[in-house]
Structure 1
Amino acid sequence: MNEIDVLKKISSNLTERKNSAALSNYRVLCSNIAFLNETFSNAISTLRLMHGEIESTLKNDSLLTPQFKSGMDLNAFIPIVLRLQLNSFSVFEKLAALTSPDDRAHITIENVSVLSRGFDDYNNLVTATRQYIDSIISDSYQLYLLDPKSFNYHVLVSLNSFSKYATKSLAHALFNQEMESALNEFRTIKFKDWTKSHITECNHTTFAQKVDFLFSVLGVPSDPDLSDDLKNIFKFSSEFTHIGYISTFFTSSSGTEVIFGDDDGPYLPSTENFSELKYEVLETACKALVATYIPSLVKCLEKLMLKPQAEKLSTSLQLAAKALSGAIASRNSKYFFFVKIGLIGSTTSIPLTCMCGDTKTWWPPHDTSELYCGSCGSSFQLLEVDGEGGYIITSNGPVKIIGANVPDFCDLPMAEQIKLLQQCEEAKNAHSPQPGCQPEFEQ
């Protein structure tokens, strides 16, 4: 294959847009987006509320560690840390606003075209995503380090670029004699020396290097693919931010759209395609908040504050991270149900209550393609067992066998409940790992 062969393939395949295809369950996507978006927004609100408490503590000199007290050189970091948080919130809230679920309350066949998604929609979402991951990694990096030269580099490089095209009014709002002198000092340094000078330093200049550094000091996240996901979304968003050929071609070319529909009304393939991306972005944004920003803020507070104050705030931050992690884990999971032998394939409908709280009624003839939650997208796997005992003993507690002629666990007499719970505890202890063994979390 030579250069002309490749050029012809591009010409025949990447100059005219093919029709869109909807490859996911749009209704489930919308449900998951609504759930995660609300959880993400709640986490941001929690961080905003905690900012007030953090600010109050940092302004009380008696609660600070010696090197950060008033009169000490590093006390300059106190207002900087508070400002970094406020900057972060603006970026976080922008992404939250752009990842809300589609509203189909008044959508009909006649006006379904308003759901079509194109260049502006993708550009706004992906640009906000790029700003979010840039901000969260950069701010996490600075919060963790609290290093004067590193922060000087972070700000002076930004200020130097900003000043090149800032209008007089913008410049007036930012520059005074002190900042002019700092910037002039920075401009005496050769570009190649910016990362290692008498006033600036940067040991991790690229986004990928900062990601690797953060996970090396904060620990491997619960999702081992998060590091690669962040780097990939950075590259993906660069394609949109820099108006690459493929991103512009895909989002600005209009193809024929077939109108689809579900119980909530009509929609278009481009609507579903865009929602798929929106959910992926939202999930990664939540994971990044849990794995980088919150633990970096915890480390920062541990350096700035005396131990009792730092521990109190850290506990609240970790609870917020735990709630966010739980919300992520509850989407698109896999759950097992124990069903009495003979029920599957019968004329009886089978109720399957998901962990998210939604109940799916599996109607005869029990088509296995319908074994999923219509609310969170989790898949269901059914295990047929003898229903005589009525309950299955698991590490999470007793589970009623669907179709068994016994009461629900909560309707049993207290003595029977205690007896079953004791059996569960015995089973759990029997399978607990021996000292020195790796716990089998999956089991």
Structure 2
Amino acid sequence: MNKAFANAIGKLRGLHKQIESSLTNDSHLNPQYKSGTDLNAFVPIVSRLQLNSFSVFEKLAALTVPDERAHITLESVSALSRGFDDYNDLVTATRQYIDSIVSDSYQLYLLDPKSFNYHVLVSLNSFSKYATKSLAHALFNTEVESALNEFGTIKFKDWTKSHITECNHSTFAQKVDFLFSVLGAPTDPELPDDLKNLFKFSSEFTHIGYTSTFFTSTTGAEVIFGDDDGPYLPSTENFSELKYEVLETACKALLATYIPSLVQCLEKLMLKSQAEKFSALLHQNAAALFDAIATRNSKYFFFIKTGLIGSSAAIPLTCMCGETRTWVPPHARTELFCTSCGSSFQLLEVDGDGGYIITSNGPAKIIGANVPDFRDLPMAEQIKLLKQCEEAAKGAHGPQPGSQPDAAR
């Protein structure tokens, strides 16, 4: 899942360059956002907001990479121990991520001057209190200082509704509820509560709560466990489970809040033809991430010609999520999983000269058979095989390649 998350962020960063180029072209913008208008100020803001988001997103991706256990032994297993520093780094990055993705999605959707003023000025006001002279000199020009001075004349109780600022949803939970009210209910109905609970959980860590500090800083000898991948420690397992839960929520939030908010933002800024082009690309990215989430940790079956396993051949295994893993000699069984979604692979060896296996999903080529892929066959041959599939559907059930066994025929 980490790879799918990182890939989605990478695609968003790559797409940003195209979006930025289009936003700087007046002929691509709606009239109210063209150069010379007050709202044109949102053009560089939207571009910068995306770059800020990516920095935060990439930090979480870097901290949720799976542990490398290939060369861990009983003597070196202590390297996998996880304590206060590890949890603190992960959960702080998680807090930054969910804060960023909800706040940025909120601003991208609204594109409202007063709302944006509120969040920027509150941030600048806090930053300026302790910023060094060199930082202040680098960030605060005359215009920014003037805005801060004007903001300083407003009473705290009036910050959320003044002549230059407005905030109708000041808390994290309120922003979450607002986003799902305008963007629609997420595929996972528990996501709004998951985001709020993760916010509370991360607050316990980032504010150095009693429970989190006690749990992560307690030292002592750990029992060594083991599985097919080698030895590991209880703290390793606990930490890995937390990373997985965080990643799952992070991916779902990207799908349900950030991408649709960016689509809405571009539809406001750009002419319909331009907005639709980027909307299609963003939805493609979302679909790829959604598929990776939907197929994660499944068990898939593949038919393979007898004799290939253990040979010198590199064997391509394409998962249902679209990722292809090349299984290279000496064909270690520990490598039979998808590096993208984490699903496991089981290979069923087939004797004889047959080229295809008939399944309820249609004909499947036996890996290693000297026949074309089904889609490369002449149409008459495809129809012939499909008719055989219809007949087989009435017969006995058996495992289906690229599918879970309970759905196979």
Is the CA contact 2:195–2:249 (under 8 Å) kept in the aligned structure 1? yes
Say yes or no: does 1:242 pair with 2:200: no
Is the CA contact 1:134–1:207 (under 8 Å) kept in the aligned structure 2? yes
Q: Which moved more, 1:268-277 or 1:254-263?
A: 254-263
Deviations 1:204-239 (A, max 9, x none): 111111111111111111111111111111011000
Q: Counterpart of 1:162 in structure 2: which amino acid?
A: F
Is the CA contact 2:364–2:374 (under 8 Å) kept in the aligned structure 1? no
Say yes or no: does 1:151 pair with 2:103: no
How far the C-alpha of 1:259 sits from its partner, in A, is 1.1
Q: Which moved more, 1:145-154 or 1:101-110?
A: 101-110
How far the C-alpha of 1:261 sits from its partner, in A, is 2.1
Higher relative contact order (CA 8 A, sep 6+): 1
Q: Please name the residue that 1:40 is paired with.
A: 5
Q: Please name the residue that 2:187 is paired with.
A: 222
How far the C-alpha of 1:46 sits from its partner, in A, is 1.0
Q: Counterpart of 2:37 in structure 1: which amino acid?
A: M
Q: Counterpart of 1:254 in structure 2: which amino acid?
A: T
Where does 1:6-405 land on structure 2 (aligned, <5 Å)?
Answer: 36-333=1-298, 355=320, 376=342, 391=358, 393=360, 396-397=361-362
Instruction: Describe the shift of the 1:334–1:263 C-alpha distance in structure 2 as closer, same or farther (beyond 3 A).
Output: closer
Instruction: Describe the shift of the 1:379–1:223 C-alpha distance in structure 2 as closer, same or farther (beyond 3 A).
Output: farther
Q: Gaps (5+ residues) in structure 2?
A: 303-317, 326-335, 347-356, 366-370, 391-406
Q: Which moved more, 1:282-291 or 1:412-421?
A: 412-421
3-state DSSP class of the match of 1:164?
Answer: helix
3-state DSSP class of the match of 1:151?
Answer: helix
Instruction: Describe the shift of the 1:374–1:224 C-alpha distance in structure 2 as closer, same or farther (beyond 3 A).
Output: same
Q: Counterpart of 1:231 in structure 2: which amino acid?
A: K
Instruction: Describe the shift of the 1:412–1:72 C-alpha distance in structure 2 as closer, same or farther (beyond 3 A).
Output: closer
How far the C-alpha of 1:421 sits from its partner, in A, is 3.8
Q: Gaps (5+ residues) in structure 1?
A: 1-35, 338-352, 359-372, 381-389, 401-406, 426-441
How far the C-alpha of 1:354 sits from its partner, in A, is 7.2
Is the CA contact 2:222–2:233 (under 8 Å) kept in the aligned structure 1? yes
How far the C-alpha of 1:262 sits from its partner, in A, is 2.6
How far the C-alpha of 1:336 sits from its partner, in A, is 10
Q: Please name the residue that 1:15 is paired with.
A: none
Instruction: Describe the shift of the 1:424–1:152 C-alpha distance in structure 2 as closer, same or farther (beyond 3 A).
Output: farther
3-state DSSP class of the match of 1:261?
Answer: strand
Q: Counterpart of 1:191 in structure 2: which amino acid?
A: F
How far the C-alpha of 1:411 sits from its partner, in A, is 11
In structure 1, how many angstroms separate the alpha carbons of the residues matched to 2:373 and 2:34? Answer: 57
In structure 1, how many angstroms separate the alpha carbons of the residues matched to 2:179 and 2:362? Answer: 38
Is the CA contact 1:332–1:379 (under 8 Å) kept in the aligned structure 2? no
Is the CA contact 1:126–1:240 (under 8 Å) kept in the aligned structure 2? yes
In structure 2, how many angstroms separate the alpha carbons of the residues matched to 1:194 and 1:413? Answer: 68
Relative to the length of structure 1, the TM-score reads: 0.72
3-state DSSP class of the match of 1:288?
Answer: helix
How far the C-alpha of 1:332 sits from its partner, in A, is 3.2
Is the CA contact 1:331–1:378 (under 8 Å) kept in the aligned structure 2? no
Deviations 1:164-188 (A, max 9, x none): 1111111111111111111111111
Instruction: Describe the shift of the 1:71–1:111 C-alpha distance in structure 2 as closer, same or farther (beyond 3 A).
Output: same
Instruction: Describe the shift of the 1:323–1:354 C-alpha distance in structure 2 as closer, same or farther (beyond 3 A).
Output: closer
Q: Counterpart of 1:313 in structure 2: which amino acid?
A: F
In structure 2, how many angstroms separate the alpha carbons of the residues matched to 1:137 and 1:39? Answer: 20
How far the C-alpha of 1:105 sits from its partner, in A, is 3.4
Is the CA contact 2:2–2:65 (under 8 Å) kept in the aligned structure 1? yes
Relative to the length of structure 2, the TM-score reads: 0.78
In structure 2, how many angstroms separate the alpha carbons of the residues matched to 1:335 and 1:105? Answer: 23
Q: Counterpart of 2:280 in structure 1: which amino acid?
A: T
How far the C-alpha of 1:397 sits from its partner, in A, is 4.0
Is the CA contact 2:299–2:343 (under 8 Å) kept in the aligned structure 1? no
How far the C-alpha of 1:106 sits from its partner, in A, is 3.1
3-state DSSP class of the match of 2:231?
Answer: strand
Instruction: Describe the shift of the 1:200–1:411 C-alpha distance in structure 2 as closer, same or farther (beyond 3 A).
Output: closer
- C-alpha root-mean-square deviation of aligned residues, in Å? 3.3
How far the C-alpha of 1:39 sits from its partner, in A, is 1.4
In structure 1, how many angstroms separate the alpha carbons of the residues matched to 2:89 and 2:125? Answer: 26
Q: Counterpart of 2:162 in structure 1: which amino acid?
A: S
How far the C-alpha of 1:104 sits from its partner, in A, is 2.1
How far the C-alpha of 1:256 sits from its partner, in A, is 3.2
In structure 2, how many angstroms separate the alpha carbons of the residues matched to 1:186 and 1:411? Answer: 65
Instruction: Describe the shift of the 1:354–1:44 C-alpha distance in structure 2 as closer, same or farther (beyond 3 A).
Output: closer
In structure 2, how many angstroms separate the alpha carbons of the residues matched to 1:419 and 1:409? Answer: 15
How far the C-alpha of 1:126 sits from its partner, in A, is 0.3
Count, aligned residues: 353
Is the CA contact 1:332–1:377 (under 8 Å) kept in the aligned structure 2? yes
How far the C-alpha of 1:145 sits from its partner, in A, is 0.3
